[in-house]
Amino acid sequence: MQAGSVWSLPLTPEPLMGNPRVPIFFPPAVASPSLRGFTGKSPAIPLLCKFAKVQMRHRTSYQTSTKSVGLVRPKAIALRSFGTDLELRTPAREGWAVVVDFDATITTQDISDAILLHYTSNSFKDVRESYVPGTVTEDWVREKFRAVQARPGELRKFVYKTGRLRPGFKRLLRICRINKIPVEIVSGGLDFYIRLLLNRWGIRGLKVYCANARWISHGLDVRYRYLNGFTLDHFKARRVLEYKKRGYRVVYMGDGSSDFEAAKKADITYARGTLLGLCRKNLVTAKFFNDFKMVATFLNSHH
């Protein structure tokens, strides 16, 4: 927004009377600095406004008064001018939301890595390449899983043997359920083992974003339909931003390089492994976690 420009703000969805848009003049002294991140999609001030001409040092401008006659203040953003300072009153916070990775975050080890090491010729060094920043995780997974020849029954037994739930996760879910905190899983892992393990642990009802895998003649065909053209890194970040847009503060938990963009957008990040190293290297605040007990305790005391 340019200083000194006129910007029309949309009204609330239920206008009572008058012009459907209210022009507001932003003088140079109060224009853009206080409005960073403010968009035309936000609801505006009450319909009836008084415009008072105010003498300012070295310039003349206008301020708006939010006093209205016989109107209920909308549950939205209101603008108030005090001298040269424009105050934004944002909607009440909805509380906390939790977005969490699956492999080596909810589980104690990465199930995809374990499958590739057991059923293909990939070495530990090959697998670690997927954690290098800049690697497109979803492309790497698609390529590597084409070489997995194991049949569904065999893989199911291996997943049951390998998958271990990180301590404290059920407690975290219980606290989130009691306090009505939304929780969702956003993973580059495969649906067949994620849902298999969640069902085994008695965890149901969570929103889960993960890859679809199906058995074909020469391996596993992996598709990321939910990405809709985005990379996994940016999709995870978009899930964090979606909650923030709705007024939530977001806790993010992850371990890999594909979690870094989301970690930067979250209000609080709990990290381990590659993600923790990236956060420290790039001065992104993150707390190390080895289990979910500390996250559960935090949310229980800050809901």
Q: At 174, which CATH number?
A: 3.40.50.1000
106, part of any domain: yes
Indicate the residue among 89, 104, 138 that finishes a domain.
89
Residue 192 in this model has a pLDDT that exceeds 50: yes
43, part of any domain: yes
1, part of any domain: no
Query: Which contiguous run of DSSP H or E holds residue 189?
Result: strand 183-190
Residue 104's contacts (CB-CB under 8 Å, 6 or more residues apart) are 110, 113, 255, 256, 272, 273
Identify whether the C-beta of residue 52 lies closer than 8 Å to the C-beta of residue 62: yes
Range of the domain at 79: 6-89
22, part of any domain: yes
**Rounded to 5 degrees, what are φ and ψ at 7?**
-130, 125
Domains held by the chain: number: 2
Question: Do 224 and 81 share a domain, yes or no?
Answer: no
| First-residue to last-residue Cα distance in the chain | 36
Residue 19 in this model has a pLDDT that exceeds 60: no
pTM of the model: 0.69
Question: Per residue in 107-164, pLDDT tens?
Answer: 999 999 999 999 998 888 888 877 777 788 889 999 999 999 898 999 999 999 999 9
